[in-house]
A and B are shown apart, each in its own frame.
Chain A
Amino acid sequence: MTKAPRRKLKMDFWFFVKVGVILALCLFIVYPFYTILTKSVFSSKVEGMTLYNFNRFFTKKYYYRTLIRSLVICSFTTLFSCVIGVFIAYVMTRYNVPGKMFLHVLIILSLMSPPFIGAYSWIVLLGRNGLLAKAFSSIGLTAPTIYGRNGIIFVFTLHLFPYVYLYTSGAMNSIDASLEEAAENLGMNKLRRIWTITLPVVLPSILAGCIMVFMTCLADFGTPMLLGEGYTVLPVLVYNEYMSESATDPFMASALSVIIVACSMVMLALQKLVVEKKNYTMSTLRPPQETKLHGFKRFAASFPVYLVIFFALLPQIVVICQSFVERSFSGMIQGINLNNYRAILSRLGQNIFNTYAFSLVAIVFIVIFGILISYVLVRKKGKAATVIDTLIMFPYVIPGSVLGIGLIVAFNRKPIILVGTAAIMIISYVVRKLPYTVRSGSAFLYQMDPSVEEASINLGVSPMKTFFTMTARMMLPGVMSGAVLSWITCINELSSSIMLYSGKTSTIAVAIYQEVVRMSDGTAAALATILSVTTVASMLLVFKLTKGKVKIV
C-alpha cells in the first residue's frame, strides 16, 4: 500500500519537444546574444576585460549623439503617431466616415508594407532629383527636404501611426455606451466626458500602441539609413561599425548592440508597468453608437482621415507607377514599359527566388514550432515551460540588425559555421517571428477547453494522435493567419538580412537597398512593386482566413 509516489521523468513525445525547443532557443538566441555581451567588454585596443567601448560611447560625441538622435526620433515619431492615431481612431469609431471598412483595410495595408519602401518612395518624390522637388523648383520654390531628422520622423510617423490607431480603435469599440451616457447623465459636457471618461479608459491601449511605435522605431534600420545622410542613428551606427569597409570594429558594434537592447528592455519594462497594471476589463453590453454627421461637418471630420491615409499610401502608388518608367542614367524618361522588370528578372532572379524560398521555409518552421511551443506553454506547465516562456520573449527586444550581428559572431567559427548560408537567413527569420505565432497560438489554446482533448482521449485516441488530429488541426486557422502576417514581414525583412546575406543568399529587400544606393530607381521600384503586390495578396488571404477580423496587434 505504501507505494512511493512515482515521479520518474516521462520520456514521452513532449519531453523531447521541450528539450529540443530549449536547446534550439539556447543555440540561436541565448548563445548569439551571450557572444555579443562578451565581445562588448573586450576591445582590440585594450588587454583583457574592459568597459572601454562603453566608456568611449558615452564620452565621444560621435557615438553618444546617435543615442540622443535615436531617442529624439523615437519620441517625436511616437508623439505624432499618437496624436494622428488617436484622432483617426476616435473619428472612425464615433462618426459616419464614408467607406469606413475600406479605410480600415487601407490603414492595415500601409502598416504591413515594407517600411524602407516608404523612405525610398519619398526620396523619389522629395529627394534630390525628386518629382515634387523638381516641380517646386520649376515654379521657383524650394520643397522641404526629406533627408535628415525631420524626413525620418515624417516617414516613420506615416508608417507607424496605424499601431496607435489599431490599439485605440479596438479599445474604443469595447467601451460600453452606458459609460459615457452615465457621465452625461451626471452633467458632464461632451469635451469633459471625453477627457474624464473616454480617454482614461482607453489610455492603456493608447500607451500600448505608443510603445509598439517607439520600439519599432528604435529597431528600424532601413528608413534612417536611406534618409539619414549625415544624421546617424544608433542602428545605422551599429551597421557602420560592423560592415563599413574601412574601420570595422566588432567589439564596438557589440557594445552598441547591448545599448540598443538595453533601451528596448527599458521600454518593455515600462509597458509591463504601465499597460498591464491599468488594463480595464469591460463587459460590453452595448457597443458605442456611431453619430451621424451631415454635410460640412461630415466632410470636416472625414477629410483629415482621408488625407493621412492618402499620404500613408502615396509611397506605394508612386513606387508602382515608377516601376513602369524606364529612365536613362541621367534620369531622363525613356518610355513606359516593362524593361525594369526584364532587368531585374535577368539580373536579380536569384534574389526573388531567395526571398520567397527563405520566407516559405521559415514560415513552415514557424508554424510547426509555434504550435508545439504554445501547446507546451499552455498545457504542459512546469519548469521547462517557464524557461521557454522567458527565452521566447527575447526576440521582442532584440532588433534585427543586432540579431544579425549576434548570429554572425556566434556562427562564423567552429564548431558551427553558418555565415553566408541560406540556413542563417532562415534561422534569423524564424527566431524573430516565432514569438508572434506562439502568442496567437497560446491565446487560442487558452480559449479552448481542455475537455475537448480529454473527450478524444477518452474515446480511445492516444494523446499523441489527439494532439495532431484534433488540437493542432483546430489551432491551424488561427495560427495560419498569424503566420501569413509573419510571412509578409519575412519577405519585407531588411535589418537582419542586410547583415547576413552573401552573394548567393541576397533577397529582394537587400537588392532594393543596394539599387537605391546605386541611384537605380527603376529597378528598385520594380522590386518594391513585387513586394507590395505580394503583401497585398497575402493580406487578402489573411482577411479571408480571419473573415475580416484581422488581429495585427
Chain B
Amino acid sequence: MSNEVIIKNAVKRYGDFTALHDVSLNIEQGEFFTLLGPSGCGKTTLLRMIAGFNSIEGGEFYFGDNLINDVPAHKRDIGMVFQNYAIFPHLTVEENVAYGLKARKTPKAEIDARVKEALELVQIAPLAKRKPSELSGGQQHRVALARAFVIEPSVLLMDEPLSNLDAKLRVQMRSIIKKLQRRLGITTIYVTHDQEEALAISDRIAVMNLGEVKQIGTPREIYAKPENPFVAGFIGVSNFLNCEVTANDGKTAKVSIKGELDIDVPVRRSYIGKAQLSARPEQLFFSKTGMPGTVLFSTFLGDFIEYEVELDDKQMLIINEYTKDTTTVHEVGEKVHISFDATRISLYDDAEEVLSK
C-alpha cells in the first residue's frame, strides 16, 4: 500500500557539521518527488535518513500516520534503487528480484508469478537465469528497478539511478521509470543533481543547497518563478543584473538598471532599494533602445542562436533568439541594444527574497 511521506524539521549532524537544517517536506501519495541540488547539498543524506541508513538527529519522519524514526531499516517496507544498483553478484537475475519477496515469506508460487511479471514490466524476462556479471549497465539497472518495486513498497527511493548510464540510455530509462511509476502509483522520492532529468521526470521538485530546501514546486513553477537567485542560477541558465527599485506601490515597481534602462515589473509586495534581477536567455531581446553592448560570440544551435553579448560595463549576457522568430543574424562585433520582457523576469530584494509576481 502506497503512502504519503511527511518530514518535519529533519536535522542531520556529523559531529559539529550540520548537514541538514530543519528540512520539512510533504510528499503526497503516488507522487513523483525529486530532491535536486548540487553535490554536498544534503539530498542523499536525506534519502538515506528516510531509508534508515543514516541516524536522525532531529525531526519526525512519517509514512502515512506512522512515525518511522525508530523503525529499523529492514522493517520500513521501502524499495530502493542504488546509484551503483547494488545487484547481488552471486544471485541470478530472478533470484535478485525474488530476494525481497523471500524476506517477506511470500508463498513460492506467488513469488514466481510476481518476479515474472516484474521482469516483463522492465522488459528483461529472457534474462531471468543470467548472472549479474553477464548483464550490461542498462540491464543491471532494470534488475535493480524490478527488485525495488516487486515488493510493492509503501515508498520507492532512487539515489541518482541514471548517473552511471550513457546519455542515450539515460533518456530512455528516464521515460521507463516515469511510466512505471505512473502505472504502479508508488510514492517515489528521487535524488539527482541533473536539473534536466529532474524537470523531465518529476511531479514536484525540492531544490536543495547547503542542507536547506530552497524551493518546492512543480518543474514549471521552479523554472518560471525561481524564488531566489540560487534556484534561478541552478535551474536552467539565468542572466543576473544588479538594479535598483526606485518606486513601488506594492503592485508595480519601477526598476532602474544601471541608469540605462527603466522597466516596470509586477511585484507582490512593497520594497525600495538595491535589488537583483534574473532573466532567462529567451526573456532578453535585441531592440532599438535599452542597454548598449557588443556581440562577442554567436553559436548556431539549429532552432535558436545563442549570443554572448558584452555590455559596455563589461558584464556578459546570454541571449537566445529563436530562428523561427527572426531572420536577422547579428554579427560578432556588432553594436546592439538589449531589453527585457519585464513581465517574465524575476526580481529579488537585497535579502535575496523574491519580489516579482
Residues on A facing B (Cβ under 8 Å): 1, 3, 5-6, 449, 451-452, 454-463, 466, 470, 473-474
Contact = CB atoms under 8 A, between A and B. Distances in A.
Contacts of B57: 5
Contact of A454 (B82, B104, B147): B82
Given A449-B84, A462-B74, A454 B103 contact: no
Contact of B86 (A1, A451, A473): A451
Contacts of A3: 58
Nearest to B150: A459
B303 to A, nearest CB: 41
Contacts of B84: 449, 451
Nearest to B22: A1
A482 B177 CA distance: 43
B280 to A, nearest CB: 38
A486 to B, nearest CB: 24
Contact of A458 (B55, B58, B74): B74
Query: Which are the 6 A-B pairs with shortest beta-carbon distances?
Result: A459-B100, A460-B103, A455-B86, A451-B86, A451-B82, A461-B103
Contacts of B104: 460
B86 A459 contact: no
B75 A460 contact: yes
Contact of A452 (B51, B52, B73, B86): B86
Contacts of B100: 459-460
B72 interface: yes
Contact of A459 (B72, B90, B103): B103
A466 B99 CA distance: 11
Given A449-B86, A460-B103, A1 B58 contact: yes
Given A5-B13, A455-B86, A460-B75, 6 more contacts: A455-B82, A455-B87, A457-B74, A459-B151, A460-B104, A463-B73
- Which secondary structure dominates chain A's binding surface? helix
Interface string B87-98: 111100000000
Interface of B: 9, 13, 51-53, 55, 57-58, 72-80, 82-84, 86-90, 99-100, 103-104, 147, 151
A5 B57 CA distance: 6
A456 B72 CA distance: 13
Contact of A456 (B58, B75, B99): B99
Contacts, number: 69
Contacts of B103: 459-461
Given A1-B9, A1-B58, A458 B80 contact: yes
Contacts of A1: 9, 58
B148 to A, nearest CB: 8
Contacts of A466: 74
A459 B147 CA distance: 8
Contact of B83 (A451, A457, A473): A451
Given A459-B147, A460-B74, A460-B104, A454 B86 contact: yes
Contacts of B89: 452, 474
Nearest to B57: A5
A266 B80 CA distance: 50
B72 A454 contact: no
Contacts of A459: 74, 79, 99-100, 103, 147, 151
Given A459-B99, A460-B74, A452 B58 contact: no
B56 to A, nearest CB: 10
Nearest to A449: B84
Nearest to A477: B90
Contacts of A6: 55
B188 to A, nearest CB: 15
Nearest to A459: B100
A474 B87 CA distance: 13
A476 B93 CA distance: 21
Contacts of A454: 51, 53, 73, 80, 82, 86
Contacts of B73: 454, 457-458, 463
A455 B80 contact: yes
A457 B55 CA distance: 15
A1 B82 CA distance: 32
11 contacts: A6-B55, A449-B84, A452-B89, A454-B80, A454-B86, A455-B87, A457-B52, A457-B53, A458-B51, A459-B103, A473-B90
Nearest to B91: A470
Given A1-B58, A3-B58, A458 B90 contact: no
A463 B53 CA distance: 11
Interface hub of A460, A466, A470 (most chain B Cβ within 10 A): A460
